[in-house]
Structure 1
Amino acid sequence: MPRPTSKQELLAASEANYKRLLDLIDSYSADEVNTEFAPGTLNRNIKDVLAHLHEWHLIMQGWYKTGMAGEKPAMPAEGYTWKTLPEFNREVWKKHKEMAYDVAKASFQQSHQQIQQIISSHTDKELFEKKRYKWTGSTSLGAYLISNTSSHYDWAFKLIKKGMK
């Protein structure tokens, strides 16, 4: 699927990859969804992946709220840089490691809808015009939303497929 360049394409890609991911997850039995992936991955099972996606939805919502209020959000988070993203993702994993699978799935589904609402509230120009918002720097709001939805869901799909082999 090509990278979205309009609101409708972004909504469609986000929803298609979301559905694809949930269909994959729903194809596993209750026992299988708790299966540990092979060593070497931070997110050790499907629950961890869903919790990771949910937390990144919350992070995106925080950036959005702060940025749209005219302030510069800490990206990816206070005390971290994009170069230290693996360390930050370890903190995300620690934060949610005790979360139950059902809670992680429901939280992911809810936060996905919240991100879809953000996308829906903007025009094509607001989403895809580079440098439109000071807080997004040289890129567009849409680029952040693509990274947080359709691209991230594709990453999760591939990780789960590989982990469940």
Structure 2
Amino acid sequence: MARATTKDDLVSAGNTTFETLTGILAALTEEQRDLPFSFDVSREKGAHWARDSNVHDVLIHLHEWHLLLLDWVSSNLAGEEKPFLKAGYNWKTYGAMNAEFTERNRGSSYAESFALVCESHVRVMTLIDHFSQEELFTRGAYPWVGGTTLGSYFTSVTASHYVWATKKVRKFAKSLDLATMVPASGTRPRE
């Protein structure tokens, strides 16, 4: 997926990729949504493959990153200098921050995580609308953004993150389909 370079592309990519993710989630049964991930992650790269234990964890991750973005933008626009990542973390240690998000939300249900991510997605997409094309995609438009653009942060937290989540949920859904082909006795069906 090409990164958005215009406001229209940013909004379209964010909404389209979110709809794709929620469409896959809708195809899962209520029982399946609560099942632990059991697919093989040994060939996958990235700590997140081992970090997330179910669909809930993936949705919480998305929601927490929405909150990071919302807080970062609103704080800096209000004149309060604040880094993007949570206090105490940097780009070398943010994996521990992600694990903290998962642990902090361990007691919530799939339904709660789904409601949270839907609500925060709407808030992020609404926030995008408050910025002009130039504010989103001109380097240096906001000094607190650093050497990139504000739009690139929105892309990372929406479309890019949704593509990642969709890949993970698809892998899970595929593992369920394969599992249903094996009878409970553990013997393979005749060919």
Contact 1:51 1:104 in 2 (8 A): yes
Q: Which runs of 4+ in 1 moved over 6 A?
A: none
* Alignment-derived partner of residue 80 in structure 2: 71
**Structure 1: gaps spanning 5 or more residues:** none
Which secondary structure does the structure 2 equivalent of 1:31 belong to? helix
Three-state SS of the structure 1 residue aligned to 2:30 is coil
Give 1:30's aligned residue.
30
Shift of 1:71: 3.0
Per the alignment, residue 163 of structure 1 pairs with 172
- Quick one: distance in 2 between partners of 1:30 and 1:71? 42
Deviation of 1:159 after TM superposition, in Å, equals 1.2
CA RMSD of aligned residues (A): 1.2
Q: TM-score, normalised by structure 1?
A: 0.95
Q: Which runs of 5+ in 2 are unaligned?
A: 42-48, 176-191
Cα deviations by residue, 1:77-122 (Å, 9 ceiling, x for unpaired): 1001110011110101011111111111011101000000111111
CA deviation digits over 1:26-56, x for unaligned, max 9?
Answer: 0000111011113762111111111111111
Report the counterpart of residue 19 of structure 2 in structure 1: 19
Work out which of the two has the higher radius of gyration on C-alpha atoms and give 1 or 2.
2
Contact kept, 8 Å, 2:69 with 2:84, in 1: the verdict is: no
TM-score of the two chains, using structure 2 as the length reference? 0.83
Identity of aligned residues (%): 33
Q: How many residues align?
A: 165
1:145 has 2:177 as partner = no
Q: Is the 8 A contact 2:11 2:125 kept in 1?
A: yes
